[in-house]
Chain A
Amino acid sequence: MNTVFEYTKGMREKEMHYCPGCTHGIAHRLIMEVLEERGALGNTIGVSPVGCSIVAHQYMNVDMLESPHGRAPAVASGIKRVHPESYVFTYQGDGDLASIGTSEIIHAAERGEHFCTFFINNAIYGMTGGQMAPTTLVGQKATTCVEGRTVKQAGFPLRMSEIMSQIDGAVYVERVSLATPAEIRKAKKAISKAFDVQKNKQGFAFVELLSTCPTNWGMSPTDAIVWLKDNMVPYYPVKKFKDVEEV
C-alpha cells in the first residue's frame, strides 16, 4: 500500500492542551514539517514564549527552552552565538512579542540576527484569560475592554509586520493567515523561506501568522475562522512585505 500521509516526526505523540479550534497546533505542525523535510530536526533549537504556547516543547521534537515573557529574541541571540550553524527560532504570541517584548524583537532585527521568529497574532492575551492585546482590533471585546476597544481609551492596534519591514536587518517579512487550507499551505511556504534566509545567513526573518483564539473570542471554531477573515485580514493585510536577497 502507498503511504499518502504520515504524522510528522517533528511532533511528539502527546495529547495537546490547546482548546478545540485553536490554531497554535497548526502553526506548531507547519514549523515541524518544514524542519523535518529539510532533515533539520536534530540541528534545531527553539525558544518558546510566555503564553498558551509556553509548553510548545512538549509537542515539538527539537531541543527547546522557555523564555521569560517577551525576551525570546534575546535568548535566541545568545543561543545563536554558541551554535551559529544550528537552526534557531522563536515562537511568540502577540502579548509576548508586541507588548512586553517590543524592545527585544526590534533590536534582534536591527542586529540582523540569523534566526527566525514566528509571530502568532490572535489579537488577544489567550493564556491569562482574554485581556486586550496591543493587536486587539478597535471595537473587539476583551476582559479589559468589555464594551470593545476604543481609540480614545487604548489607541490603535499595532501592525508588527509593517514595523518590522522598516528595519534594515529584517530581510524577510511576511504575514500569512491560518484561516483556510490554501492559506495554510502558503503559510508553510513562508516558514520554509524564513529558514532558507537563516541557512544562507542573509539576516533576520519574520513570519506573522494570523490565528484564532475561539475560547477568548467567545466563538465556535468555525465562527472564529470567519471572524478572522472578516475582521483581522482587512486591518492586517496578508502579504509579503519584504524579501531582500542580501543585507
Chain B
Amino acid sequence: MAEKQLMKGNEAFATAAINAGCRYYFGYPITPQNEIPEFMSRELAKYGGAFIQAESELAAVNMAYGAAAAGGRVLLSSSSPGVALMQESISLIASVELPVVIINVMRGGPGIGSIQPSQADYDQVTVGGGNGDYKTIVYAPSSIQEACDMIYKAFDVAEEYRNPVMICADGMIGQMMEPVALPEPVEPVMGEEIRKKKPWALTGHRNERERHALNSVWLQQDLLEEYIDAYWPKFEKAERELQEWEDFMTEDAEVLYVAYGSTARIAKEAVVALRNEGVKVGLIRPKTLWPFPEKAFENLDGVKDVISVELSKAGQLKRDVRLAVEGRARVSLINRYGGMLLDPAEVVERTKKIMEEVK
C-alpha cells in the first residue's frame, strides 16, 4: 500500500479509478461531483485514455455503453437526478451484459432537489432504476479510504459479473478531505490486447471469427424469457457471495442500528455515547446495498429494537431492514432528509424515545 495522503473525496475516487486501470470517462457537470470530471479531463490523456464532456447524462451513459462494448474500462459519475436520467441505459447495459462502473454522489431529492448530502436514492439504485428484470450491484462507502478500495474492486466485480456496478457515496464523502492510501496501479487491457483478453468485446471480426452482434431487443418473447433465465444465476451468485457489512458492538446488543455511508459514522458515535450510559447498542453497517446483507441479521437473539438510521423521509433502507428482520424485533426509523443531516446527539435522544415506547 502506498503512503497516506490528504485528498478530497471526489479526486481520490477518480485517482482510484485510474489506478484500477480505468481509461475512459464520460460525464456531465452536476454538483456535488464536479471534481471527478474536472480531474479526469486533466489526467486521462496522460495515460493514453480519453475523456469526453458529454452534452447530457443521456449521452454520457451511452458513450460509456459504446466504450464498454468495445472492451474499455469505463467510469461514469453523476449525482441523483443525473443518475435518474441514465437509468434507461443502465438497464440496457445490464441487458447486454457489459461492465461499467458508476459513481453516484447522492444529493437531496425529489426533483432537482438540493445539493446537500442525502440517501434518498436508495430505492432508485437498489429496486428502482431502469425497466425490466436486472439488478445493479451497489456499494456504499462510509469513508474516502473505503470508497477508493470499493471503486478499485468495482472494476473487477463489473467484469466478473459483466454488469453495471454503482458506488453510492453521498455529498459529504465526496466533498470532505481525509488521509487515504491509494491502491496500487494496474495496467489496463487496451488496443489489440482487448481482442485476446475480452473475446466478447466488439473489436472488428478481422475475418477470423463470426461477427459479434450485441443485442438488447428480442422480437420473440419466448427467447427473451430464455435469455433472462440464462443470465439470472449470476444475480443469485451475487446474493450469495457479494454481501458485505460491518458489525460494530453488535454482540450483546439489545438495540441495533442499521446505517450506511456517512450516516453510519454518526450512528457509530451514537453507539459509543449510549454505551457510555450503559445502553446496549450496536450497529450493522451495510457495505453493499444490493445485494443487501441479509446474512448480518441471521442471529437477532436478545435484540428488541432495530432502528434504521438514514437520510430519507420514506425510510427506504428501513424497508429492506424490515424484510431482513422478518418480524423478530420492532423496526423503527431515525431520519432526516432533503439535505439535512443527523448528529449523534439527535440520534441518542430519538433512540431513547423509541426505547421508552417499547415499555
Chain A residues within 8 Å of B, Cβ to Cβ: 12, 41-45, 47, 50, 54-55, 57-58, 60-68, 71, 74-83, 86, 103-104, 106-107, 111
Q: Please determine whether B213 and A58 come into contact, CB atoms closer than 8 angstroms.
A: yes
Q: Please determine whether B211 and A79 come into contact, CB atoms closer than 8 angstroms.
A: no
Q: Which 10 A-B pairs have the closest CB atoms?
A: A78-B66, A82-B70, A78-B67, A57-B213, A78-B63, A75-B66, A74-B62, A65-B214, A107-B55, A71-B62
Q: Tell whether B56 is near chain A: CB-to-CB under 8 Å.
A: yes
Q: How far is the CA of A45 from the CA of B52 in the complex (A)?
A: 20
Interface residues of B in 205-241 (CB under 8 A from A): 205-208, 211-217, 219
In-complex Cβ contact of B56 among A67, A76, A86, A103 (8 A)? A103
Q: How far is the CA of A106 from the CA of B56 in the complex (A)?
A: 12
Q: Please determine whether A77 and B66 come into contact, CB atoms closer than 8 angstroms.
A: yes
- In the assembled complex, 5 residue pairs joining A and B whose CB atoms fall closer than 8 Å, in A order, are A43-B204, A57-B213, A66-B214, A77-B63, A81-B50
Given contacts A78-B26, A78-B62, A104-B55, whether A41 and B205 have CB atoms under 8 Å apart is yes
Given contacts A66-B215, A66-B217, whether A71 and B67 have CB atoms under 8 Å apart is no
Q: Which residues of B contact A71 (CB under 8 A)?
A: 58-59, 62, 89
Q: Please determine whether A55 and B219 come into contact, CB atoms closer than 8 angstroms.
A: yes
Q: Which residues of B contact A57 (CB under 8 A)?
A: 211, 213-215
Taking the closest CB of chain B, its distance from the CB of A86, in whole angstroms, is: 5
Taking the closest CB of chain B, its distance from the CB of A10, in whole angstroms, is: 10
* Interface SS of chain B: mixed
Q: Which residue of A lies closest to B219 (CB)?
A: A55
Interface residues on B, range: 35 or more
Q: How far is the CA of A58 from the CA of B214 in the complex (A)?
A: 10
Q: Which residue of A lies closest to B216 (CB)?
A: A66
Q: Please determine whether A74 and B208 come into contact, CB atoms closer than 8 angstroms.
A: no
In-complex Cβ contact of B211 among A47, A64, A74, A78 (8 A)? A64
Instruction: Pick from A63, A71, A104 the residue with the most CB of B within 10 Å.
Output: A63
Q: Please determine whether B59 and A74 come into contact, CB atoms closer than 8 angstroms.
A: yes
In-complex Cβ contact of B205 among A50, A63, A77 (8 A)? A63
Q: Which residue of B lies closest to A54 (CB)?
A: B217
Q: How far is the CA of A41 from the CA of B211 in the complex (A)?
A: 9
Q: Tell whether B354 is near chain A: CB-to-CB under 8 Å.
A: no
Given contacts A63-B203, A74-B54, whether A79 and B70 have CB atoms under 8 Å apart is yes
Q: Tell whether B88 is near chain A: CB-to-CB under 8 Å.
A: yes
Q: How far is the CA of A111 from the CA of B60 in the complex (A)?
A: 14
Q: Please determine whether A103 and B204 come into contact, CB atoms closer than 8 angstroms.
A: no
